[in-house]
Structure 1
Amino acid sequence: MTGTASRLRALPLRSRLALLVAGAVAAAVAAVAVACWFVTREQLESQLDTSLRNVSVSDELVRSLFAACTRPDQAAPPPVKGTYTVQLVTASGSTCTSAGASPIEVTAADTAVAAGVRHDTLHTATTKNGSKVRVHTYPYETRTPLPGLVAGGFAVSVARPMSEVDAPLSSLAWMLLVVSGIGVVGAGAAGLWVARTGLRPVDRLTGAVEHVARTEDLTVRIPVDGEDEIARLSRSFNSMTASLASSRDRQAQLIADAGHELRTPLTSLRTNIELLARSDDTGRAIPPDDRRALMASVKAQMTELASLIGDLQELARPDAPAPGPLQVVALHDIADTALERARLRGPELTIRADLTPWYVRAEPAALERAVVNVLDNAVKFSPPRGTVEVALRDGELTVRDQGPGIPADELPHVFERFWRSPSARQLPGSGLGLSIVARTVQQAGGETTLRPAPDGPGTIASIRLPGAPVPPPGS
């Protein structure tokens, strides 16, 4: 059984479907054929038994038959019409059979009928020459004793050959066998055709997958017709390839943008280091002030490179739930900590804060980084001695600066990776901060927006997170 199952699994799917269909049809046809054969046999035997019960043997025939059997000089009675065989049976088991007929074996039931113990009997017996017959034995009362027989009764057996039933049954069996074979073969052919037709979309899908695996061409799309499972599978494949193509494009764009952003600080570093190396090689000392400025530039470029690499590592994490465990954290405490860092980075700025308690479920480190990035943007774009207003009310943290603002046509791009406003390209930064903010807030179930200030210059950055003004029990 295990070997058969293994060989079956080794076949192509369409061959397995065809075999399964043929097997199911064969089982159904076999069940119907067997049932038909048994029902037909019962009907034929019932008709044969009815015909035997309806046979009436005349008294004259009985006497003639008895006389022919007991007196050799007596002429044999005329043959019985049809295919009947008549035999007389006494209680002792002796028999007298019609002329030209082979004697029928006598059973205990026959002698019991002859002795008057049973009313009649109907059974299958065998003649002396080996033929099977169906026998009906019933008592026969005589008005006058027959010569050589004690007064009383005896039994008459009427028989018909079983070939009248077996021959039609044999023909029926052969006919059912032929019809069943044709049906099974036809079912197998139909199953193979259905399998080929039904699996044609699967073949197209397989070809598309093999093409993608061979060529890495993610532009392949499968035509979708209908609403069945194959159509759903084709749509899912098209969505998968579209997502993969989009992911690959984003990856390529990230690499290109990262290379572009890395080129500027690296070029500056190379230039400064070459100046320092040339000074050492030629022995021409760089003036102290220029050397300090040169070293400060190298340090600034190194800091910018480290920040850019950190942002790239942050964005390289998959767009799935944050890897750190989610915790119930106080957003107002995180905002207060970020405010302290912002005051250090912009000591000449006035930073006002109005924070009401609000507890959220998020990764503390990632959320703090997001709030710090928003405040850093406000500090970076605020004019000297400007004001930054920070508020936290009902789960919405808003940060307003008094900078130049963001044009309306640039607002849709502010959360894209490496996107920087033309007016901000001369300022330090990688263009990744707001992308990190948007992703972190989205992972915490919130949303981030930027909008122009309604009553003057500046921009309002908003972070809205679901939570509550009090911590949940047990947190």
Structure 2
Amino acid sequence: DNVSLLTHEMKSPLAAIRGAGEILHDEISDPSLTRFTDNVIHESQRLSDLLDRLLAMAKLEKLESLPARKSRVTISALVEDWQSSRYSLLAEKHLEVSVNDGVLQAEAETLKLALFNLLDNALRFANAETTLTVQVEGDSLTVENIGPAIPDYALDRVTERFYSLPAPGHDKSSGLGLTMVAEIASLHGGSLILTNTNNGVRATLTIPQN
């Protein structure tokens, strides 16, 4: 409750800081000063994204169980939504996305949150000009990328809260994405497992189908 309250209270001043930074950016022509306004805008957006993740995590942790009513969720439709919202990031790295036809019986909103976080993580570490692969088979959903492997020392820690690995060309992440996915898997009575492949990483989200 305290985390939720504090996070909500911080969002308004952060929005004001970002807005002021954007106004200053438009008014300043000196390149040596523009980089400071760019930094204000960039860092305030990073903080805003972190607050959104903290709110989502707090909401999940307050749930003792999911609603009894589950939905048949078409995974390809969720992937399409994610692609639309991450278009510029995908284009920047020239990434393709491959997804098979598959349906999972799950609580729709939390499954969407889990899949979006898995895809964001895969995109973050994917090599340029490669393909992200999403597959549904039985009660398992896998997201796979081509990129650096997870170091052995980190394999058992990547789902810990605030634990994150550096990704080339990216800011340090919040370390909450995979934690939320693991929490969602647990709420569904399932699991999240990350493994290294021959040329990348595979995340397997298992949700028992009733």
Residue 401 in structure 1 maps to residue 141 in structure 2: no
* 8 Å contact kept, 2:96–2:131: yes
The match for 1:232 is none
Residue 330 in structure 1 maps to residue 73 in structure 2: yes
The match for 1:412 is 156
Residue 298 in structure 1 maps to residue 17 in structure 2: no
Match of 1:316 among 58, 66, 78: 58
CA distance in 1, matches of 2:167, 2:71: 39
CA distance in 2, matches of 1:353, 1:324: 28
CA distance in 1, matches of 2:45, 2:178: 19
Counterparts in 2 of 1:339 and 1:466: CA distance versus 1, 3 Å: farther
Question: Which whole-Å deviations, capped at 9, do the CAs of 1:312-367 have from their partners, x for residues lacking one?
Answer: 122223354357674313142334433443444312212112232x23131x2222
RMSD: 3.2
Residue 390 in structure 1 maps to residue 153 in structure 2: no
Residue 465 in structure 1 maps to residue 207 in structure 2: yes
SS of 2:163's partner is coil
Q: Which amino acid aligns with 1:350?
A: E
* 8 Å contact kept, 2:123–2:132: yes
The match for 2:105 is 360
* 8 Å contact kept, 1:331–1:360: no
CA distance in 2, matches of 1:464, 1:297: 40
* 8 Å contact kept, 1:342–1:372: no
Deviation at 1:399, TM superposition (A): 1.1
Counterparts in 2 of 1:349 and 1:423: CA distance versus 1, 3 Å: closer
Q: Which amino acid aligns with 1:337?
A: D
Counterparts in 2 of 1:376 and 1:415: CA distance versus 1, 3 Å: same
Q: Which amino acid aligns with 2:114?
A: A
* Paired residues for 1:13-28 under 5 Å: none
* 8 Å contact kept, 2:144–2:202: yes
Question: Which whole-Å deviations, capped at 9, do the CAs of 1:170-206 have from their partners, x for residues lacking one?
Answer: xxxxxxxxxxxxxxxxxxxxxxxxxxxxxxxxxxxxx
Q: Which amino acid aligns with 1:429?
A: S
CA distance in 2, matches of 1:365, 1:441: 13
| Matched pairs, number | 189
The match for 2:189 is 445
* 8 Å contact kept, 1:343–1:351: no
* 8 Å contact kept, 2:144–2:203: yes
Percent identical pairs in the alignment equals 24
Question: Which whole-Å deviations, capped at 9, do the CAs of 1:128-185 have from their partners, x for residues lacking one?
Answer: xxxxxxxxxxxxxxxxxxxxxxxxxxxxxxxxxxxxxxxxxxxxxxxxxxxxxxxxxx
* 8 Å contact kept, 1:339–1:375: no
CA distance in 1, matches of 2:156, 2:138: 26
Q: Which amino acid aligns with 2:96?
A: T
